[in-house]
Amino acid sequence: MLDPNDEADRFPDNKRDGKMSEIQEIISSVEGSVGRIHLNNPKALNSLTSGMCETMHELLGAWRDDDTVGAVIVTSEGERAFCAGGDVRQVSSAGQEDPVAARRFFQIEYAMDTAISEFPKPYISLIDGIVMGGGLGISVNGRYRVMGDNIMAAMPETGIGLLPDVGATAFLNACPGRTGLYLGLTGARLDTADAIYAGFGTHHVASDKHPALLDALINADYAGDRFAAVDAVLEQYSSPAGDSKLEALQRDIDRLFAADDMETIVAALQEDGSDVAKRALDEFGHMSPTSLKMTARQITSNPGISIRESLILEYRLVCQVLLRHDFYEGIRAALVDKDRNPQWKPATLAEVTSSYIDEHFESLGDQELVLN
């Protein structure tokens, strides 16, 4: 289990070993009427490469049009992580050589996320352990997100000079009250009950029941109403996740994160002095000031946005991030040198001007993301 208070667990090391090309990172099969996608690189915490995203996209395209496939189930190898996100270390390396070419990873990943969000059949993720960033992209964007007992979920991108992406503009806006803004800015880590309260999970099924649940889903009758078939199985296996600490903080979060701009939010936190305020301010001390201001605008300016629209917006932002300093510095500090001491540029919120943030949101013209 990860320690949610351990700085080293803020960004788990998903470094891929030199034998990665020999590993089949995704194992796919059709069992009965169910298409199965199994993430198969536990040493890298099942983090997503462009090849894995491309494979998933191709599988979903084939199974969407295959009448013999009634549902898709996504599982993962190993107990520690469902999926720790995208392989940002590799993206950083590629971006330093050619930031335009590095866009390709996000093009492929976002096309996959779109296919998941618009998949017309039941798409079921069986999740346990770490699920962050891109791992939430391949689960939250689907219809059913079944969570085990050991969830550690987060969108920690502001801590590496990035932004909550993979559709987060939409699914963070769908969280209760101002919770999505709080999660996107602070990268707060959620347990199972918290993740279900936030809407990241749809069901809790005890971890030791996941194998039996998988068998029941594979053997379900998908000849009729496919979604009703899945609902019936999940009703049989699911149970309450317990009390959510996040829910208990809802009033404080709504009050402290009521503003749309970082300066007002920080002032409210400093004036309040409660534990939740102190923790948020401490988290902000680790984050890229540019990422914080960009994320605040990204989330608060787009209520009701669709997943597809989110991904187009997030691609625009990512393309700007790849041209600038903070993402590469964030990866260096968190995952390469691991000194946990990023030198952000600009270094403070006060130095991040509105015009600088405006630049991130400018249209890419004929370079905008096209999702078919």
**What residue ranges do the domains of the chain occupy?**
7-367
Each residue's pLDDT tens digit, 228-274: 999 999 999 999 999 999 999 999 999 999 999 999 999 999 999 89
Among candidate residues 85, 134, 167, 187, the one labeled active-site is 134
Contact 327, 162 (CB under 8 A): yes
pLDDT band of residue 17 (cuts 50, 70, 90) is very low
CA distances for 311 relative to 198, 240, 305, angstroms: 20, 32, 10
pLDDT band of residue 219 (cuts 50, 70, 90) is very high
CA distances for 330 relative to 44, 223, 320, 323, angstroms: 19, 49, 15, 14
> pLDDT at residue 20 above 70?
no
The pLDDT value given to residue 341: 96
Among candidate residues 87, 128, 157, 194, the one labeled active-site is 157
3-state secondary structure of 116: helix
pLDDT band of residue 15 (cuts 50, 70, 90) is low
Q: Which residues 6+ apart lie within 8 Å of 253 measured at CB?
A: 177, 178, 179, 182, 276
- Helices 226-237/210-218 angle, 10° precision: 160
3-state secondary structure of 211: helix
Q: Which CATH number fits domain 7-367: 3.40.50.970, 3.90.226.10, 3.30.499.10, 3.20.20.140?
A: 3.90.226.10
CA distances for 38 relative to 74, 123, 126, 333, 355, angstroms: 6, 13, 10, 31, 44
Residue 165 is a catalytic residue: yes
How many C-beta atoms lie closer than 10 Å to residue 275's C-beta?
10
> pLDDT at residue 283 above 50?
yes
Which percentage of the chain shows pLDDT scores above 70? 94
Residue 31 is a catalytic residue: no
Rounded CA gap, 234 and 212, in Å? Answer: 11
DSSP state of 190: B
Provide the token pair at 71: 């549902």
- What b-and-e string marks burial along 314-349, b requiring 16 or more CB atoms within 10 Å of the CB? bbbbbbbbbebbbbbbbbbbbbeeeeeebebebeeb
Q: Which residue has the tokens 């990873």?
A: 105
The pLDDT value given to residue 9: 52
Q: Which residues 6+ apart lie within 8 Å of 343 measured at CB?
A: 329, 333
Among candidate residues 35, 70, 85, 86, the one labeled active-site is 86
Each residue's pLDDT tens digit, 179-203: 999 999 999 999 999 999 999 999 9
> pLDDT at residue 16 above 90?
no
Average pLDDT over residues 75-101: 97
Each residue's pLDDT tens digit, 286-300: 999 999 999 999 999
Residue 329 is a catalytic residue: no
Average pLDDT over residues 71-77: 99
The pLDDT value given to residue 6: 46
Average pLDDT over residues 158-169: 99
Question: Where on the phi/psi map is residue 256: left (φ > 0), alpha (ψ -120 to 50), or beta?
Answer: alpha
pLDDT band of residue 142 (cuts 50, 70, 90) is very high
Extract long-range pairs of 91-97: CB within 8 Å, 24+ residues apart: 92/327, 92/328, 92/331, 92/332, 95/322, 95/327, 95/328, 96/328
Average pLDDT over residues 308-317: 99
> pLDDT at residue 4 above 70?
no
> pLDDT at residue 302 above 50?
yes
The pLDDT value given to residue 372: 82
> pLDDT at residue 3 above 70?
no
Provide the residue type at 184 as one letter.
G
> pLDDT at residue 88 above 50?
yes
Among candidate residues 87, 149, 165, 314, the one labeled active-site is 165
Q: Which residue has the tokens 């890298």?
A: 44
Instruction: Identify the helix (H) or strand (E) that includes residue 193.
Output: helix 192-198
Residue 157 is a catalytic residue: yes
Provide, for the chain, the percentages of residues in helix, strand and coil under a 3-state DSSP scheme, each rounded to the nearest 5: 50, 10, 40
What value does the mean pLDDT of the chain take? Answer: 95
Contact 193, 243 (CB under 8 A): yes
Contact 37, 54 (CB under 8 A): no
The pLDDT value given to residue 329: 99
Q: Tell which residue, 94, 198, 91, 72, has the closest CA to residue 147.
A: 198
Strands (DSSP E) contained in 233-273 are none
Rounded CA gap, 162 and 6, in Å? Answer: 21
Contact 83, 47 (CB under 8 A): yes
